[in-house]
Every structure is written in C-alpha cells, then in structure tokens.
Structure 1
Amino acid sequence: MTRTLAFPAAVPEAAAKYFGAEIAFEVDPDDLVQDLEAGRTDGYVVVETRAPEAFAHARIPGAINLPYRDLTPETTAHLDRALVYVCYCESTVCNAATKGALKLAELGFKVKRLSGGITAWIAAGYPVEGDGESDKATGIRCAC
C-alpha cells in the first residue's frame, strides 16, 4: 500500500462538508488581493493581529491593527458587527491571526483568517505599505 493511501480518502459527502467548512474560515491571498485591487471591499475589513510595531513595519494596504492581546469588549465597541474581519499575522508558524479571530468570534464578530499571513502575501508579490526598509520582507516576524 502507498503512504498516500494508507488512510482511505473520505467519502465525497464528508469531503465536501469538510472543505466547505475550511473555506468558510479562511481566504487565500489571491482572492483577497483581487478584491482589494478591484475596490471590492464592502462587507469585510482586513485586520493585522500582531503588535503595532509589526503593523508599522509592513502591512497589507488598507488593513487596520487590532493586536489580539488587546481585544476586549471595550476595545472593539467601535467595530461594525455586520462586517467580516479577515485576520492575518506573520505566517503559518505564527498563530496571532488564529488568536485574534478566536477573540473576535468570542466577542460576537464574524471572522476569517488569511491563509499564510503577510509572509505568503509578500512571497506572492502583493503590495505592502509601512515604514520598513524598501524590502518589506526584511524584519517580518511573529511579533505577537
């Protein structure tokens, strides 16, 4: 038996349920950049969940900074509960986006997470803004 099939694939119905749920929780950088570049920003806000220093260094254009450690009913009172908050952090090895999305969801907000974080965003060649050096990839770190 191959290692690939050592564990059988799920039946199509179970796979559809699983992958449908996964997409409900995440958005990929390509879909997000296409929406941003086309000006399709109604219904969601991009949220950097790392520390303010990381946000200042390099961020997705138009993102707001809501460090996950600071999310409380008081600090989120001004947020629009009708919007979806797309949380991102450094990469797949940083879980600030997951922590931020969890806190926002616990506070009653609709959330998604950006797959791969800003590292995947930059690796794909998508635009960033901030006060870092001309090479925005320099200094990208977890910072949570």
Structure 2
Amino acid sequence: MFEVLVYMFENYFESDIHPDHDTLSKELFAAGFDQDDINGAVDWYNVLEAMADAGVSHAGHCGFRIYSEAEINKINTDSLSFMMFLEQAKVLTSAQRELVIDRAMALSQTEIGLDEVRWITLMVLWNQDRASDYLFVEDAMFNDNRSTLH
C-alpha cells in the first residue's frame, strides 16, 4: 500500500491533480498496483485530508509525548528521532507529529522505517502548504551532493 501512496503523491497530488476515485483506481490498476492496495491507499489519504480539514493538524502544542508500546514496536527508533528533530527544528508541530504517527500506524506494514516517515511527513506538510520548510531541512540533512571544503 505504501508504494501506491508514494506513486499517488508523485504523480497526482504534488501536481495538484485530484482525479475522482474511479479514475484514480483505474489508472493505478493500469500502472500495475493491486486493487486492495489501491483502496487502502485512497482510504489512507482520505483520512489524512479529513483530519487536516478538521483542524487536527493545527491544534495546540503538547509538552511531552510518551509513545505507546504498539507505536514503539511499529515505528523504528530512527523514525521517532527524526520526528523529534523536526519538531525541535519547528518544521513539525506536535499536532502534525500526531498526524504523522496516526498515519504511520494506519499503514499495514509491521515496521515503519525512516523512508516511510519521511514520505508521510512530506504528505502531511504538503497537504497543509508547509512542504517547503520540510524540503529545506530534508535537503540539508540527506543531500549526498554536499560541497567539499578544501
């Protein structure tokens, strides 16, 4: 399902193209994705949009986050550290962090790694027109084409 989400984001949502459910399903199926994964990805993204529209992502800040055992077992340590870094860098609010965690836990995978969390964070912030902050940090942290000091 995660691959479908990434494909949808790269080919539709990033370009602000929002085809209806039937058209999207047909195009994703033609691209080689399984119908169950397509339905799961569309439902996953619809929940993300509904939560953002409901104002969940703009709620106030909480001071301290204790992760549940299920969250710790599913979301790896690098991913949790990365979310904490983004929150400390003021790229991600605590409410947006909760949205990232919710959407990570909603994935069918048994383990969520750094790549998945990076994509989920990008989708959450893109959905709120805040992706440029994240992309700046992402580029600074993960760009392998850093200049060399002589």
Q: TM-score, normalised by structure 1?
A: 0.32
More helix by share: 2
